[in-house]
Structure 1
Amino acid sequence: MACPNRNRERPRTIAFRCTDEEFETIDKRIKVTGEIKGDYLREAILNAEIHINVGKFKSDKLAIEIRNITRELQNALQLNLTDEVMELIKKNQIMFQEMYEMVTKESMELKE
Structure 2
Amino acid sequence: MACKREDRFRRNTIAFWLSDEEKSQVEAKIIFSGISKGEYYRKAVLGQEVTVIAGNYMSVRVAKVLEQILAHLQNGNTEEERLLLELVKQLLEVNKNAPAE
- TM (norm. structure 2) is 0.46
Q: If each structure's helix is expressed as a fraction of its own residues, which one has the higher value?
A: 1
Larger Cα-atom Rg = 1
Q: Which has the higher contact order (CA 8 A, sep 6+)?
A: 2
- TM (norm. structure 1) is 0.41
